[in-house]
Amino acid sequence: MRTGENMIEEFFELSFLKKLSELAQHNDPIDPALYTKYNVKRGLRNENGTGVLVGLTRIGDVVGYEIHDDRRVAVPGKLIYRGYDVADIVRDAEQSDQFGYEQCVYLLLFGELPDQEQLDEFTQFLGMRRTLPPNFTEDMIMKAPSNNIMNKLARGVLASYSYDPNPEGREVSNILRQCVELVSRFSTLAAYAYQAKRRYYDGESMYIHNPVSTLSTAENFLRLIRPDMKYTRLEAETLDLALILHAEHGGGNNSSMTVHVVSSTDTDTYSAIAAAVGSLKGHRHGGANIRVMEMMDNIKATLSDWSDEQGIRNYLRTLARGEAFDRTGLIYGIGHAVYTISDPRCVLLRAKAERLAEEKNCTDEFNLYRLVEDIAPEVLMEVHHTDRRLCANVDLYSGFVYSMLNIPRELYTPLFAVARVAGWSAHRMEEIVAGGRIYRPAYKNVSEMREYVPIARRHR
């Protein structure tokens, strides 16, 4: 219980922090014209929206346009892993009736598609490492639970350093071992962090199930977060597809770039991967599908008829004009920095979402998402008076898919990390092998020199 003295202390502390905050805000703004004057590539982007070229990679590629005569020409989107179209990987997994994420991990790390024997051996190798080290769950997860699972996931990665017999070894073989172990354990770390959060923050029962070495990453994750450990084949296949599509997205995405930057300092694997988790947590990066879900909640609460195309169009206009929901003028799930005509991840996940919606009796809701996907680009062109048509991105459907899988929203971004740790690991290996220079971009100092005033002469 707070005493009067405590309340007075808190009041003065808040007042002091408010003054410091105002001072900091007054000191930091920079005239936007200076960015143009010095040709600053804000966000490491060129004036035409393309990314500044800062590195080379063999791991993945994101294709949404081609450059002709210094102009961007839109093309249907493709996601490439090690030279292979991800759509082909997904198709082969479906035709062979296998889960495909583990094959993607192998491809991203080793650069080649495995044959069946290699894949089986590697999948078994991953499966045997899903269990956390002795006492890790009790000491590192249960004793210090977090309300945000991403923060707990980052802490779990850093804590893994203490359980590694050779955490500082910079040999490629040692770094590879660390990466494979993290890929294997990420799903367990995220699931257990969620269970701890349920118990200590939500006041609900906590279920700590042991992972099963013979199950895929998708199967294990569903098993670990559900009280009864049960799931259907279609549920596991759908989650496996989401993991495949989120495993890698080129070296320029913020979290993969973070791995390159931090790894270039010659730090340890756990520090580099934990930094990537921190990057992915940001709302501008890994949390976008949650904003889509919140927006769709608002649409569903506002419209009584989800099949009313004109009603949906009118509502999306209010969103685009900044008059509804969070008043940002954004229609979440529409548009992408690279993809123009189509996001291949969205196309593939939409098809699986339709099948899952039929099984879950969510067809009306799926049809609402389809209408938003079709109408929103037209509305944005109309409201913003542009002829540039945007496409739906993967975030439009990923949250909906996770909701049909009964995955809580607080696990959406951690699940992104469970998939993307494969790409992060590949990028760390690439930086270690082919990098060799610490990242050191330039910042132009635009402040003026000032005469130093001794403290005795300073007055307010």
- pLDDT at 87 exceeding the cut of 90: yes
Q: Tokens for 146?
A: 């977090």
CB-CB neighbours of 423 under 10 Å: 27
Q: Per residue in 372-427, pLDDT tens?
A: 999 999 999 999 999 989 999 999 999 999 999 999 999 999 999 999 999 999 99
Write down the pLDDT at residue 4: 61
Reported as half-sphere exposure (CB side, CA atoms, 13 A), residue 417 has a value of 33
Write down the pLDDT at residue 23: 72
CB-CB neighbours of 74 under 10 Å: 15
Q: Give the CA angle between residues 202, 130, 57 to the nearest 5°.
A: 105
Q: Per residue in 297-320, pLDDT tens?
A: 999 999 999 999 999 999 999 999
Write down the pLDDT at residue 313: 97
pLDDT confidence bin for 1, thresholds 50/70/90: low
| Least confident window among 34-48, 202-216, 247-261, 326-340 | 34-48
Q: Per residue in 120-154, pLDDT tens?
A: 999 999 999 999 999 999 999 999 899 999 999 99
Write down the pLDDT at residue 8: 60
* Gap between the Cα atoms of 186 and 221, Å rounded: 10
Write down the pLDDT at residue 3: 62
Q: Per residue in 2-57, pLDDT tens?
A: 566 666 666 667 787 777 777 777 776 788 898 889 888 888 888 877 788 999 99
SS3 string, the chain, reads CCCHHHHHHHHHHHHHHHHHHHHHHHHCCCCHHHHHHCCCCHHHECCCCCECCCCCCCCEEEEEEEEECCEEEEEEEEEEECCEEHHHHHHHHHHCCCCCHHHHHHHHHHCCCCCHHHHHHHHHHHHCCCCCCCCHHHHHHHCCCCCCHHHHHHHHHHHHHHHCCCCCCCCHHHHHHHHHHHHHHHHHHHHHHHHHHHHHCCCCCCCCCCCCCCCCHHHHHHHHHCCCCCCCHHHHHHHHHHHHHHCCCCCCCHHHHHHHHHHCCCCCHHHHHHHHHHHHHCCCCCCHHHHHHHHHHHHHHHCCCCCCHHHHHHHHHHHHCCCCCCCCCCCCCECCCCCCCCCHHHHHHHHHHHHHHHHCCCHHHHHHHHHHHHHHHHHHHHHHCCCCCCCECCHHHHHHHHHHCCCCHHHHHHHHHHHHHHHHHHHHHHHHHHCCCCCCCCCCCCCCCCCCCCHHHCCC
Q: Give the CA angle between residues 260, 263, 266 to the nearest 5°.
A: 150
Q: Look at residues 79, 167, 119, 166 and name the one whose alpha carbon lies nearest to residue 420.
A: 79
Write down the pLDDT at residue 255: 97
| Least confident window among 17-26, 231-240, 298-307, 351-360 | 17-26
Q: Per residue in 415-437, pLDDT tens?
A: 999 999 999 999 999 999 998 89
What are the angstrom distances between the C-alpha of 138 and each of 144, 160, 268, 400?
9, 13, 25, 33
Looking at per-residue pLDDT, the higher value among 326 and 19 belongs to: 326
| 60-68: strand order across its sheet | 60-68, 71-81, 84-85
Amino acid at 39: N
Using the Cα atoms of residue 56, residue 187, residue 398 and residue 317 in order, give the sign of their dihedral.
negative
Looking at per-residue pLDDT, the higher value among 26 and 364 belongs to: 364
Write down the pLDDT at residue 5: 63
pLDDT confidence bin for 119, thresholds 50/70/90: very high
Q: What is the mean pLDDT of residues 348-358?
A: 97
Tell me what the pLDDT averaged over the chain comes to: 93
Q: Tokens for 226?
A: 């559900």
Q: What is the mean pLDDT of residues 246-258?
A: 95
Predicted TM-score (pTM) of the model is 0.92
* Gap between the Cα atoms of 373 and 368, Å rounded: 9
Q: Per residue in 165-224, pLDDT tens?
A: 999 999 999 999 999 999 999 999 999 999 999 999 999 999 999 999 999 999 999 999
- pLDDT at 110 exceeding the cut of 60: yes
The whole-angstrom distance between residue 416's C-alpha and the CA centroid of its chain comes to 5
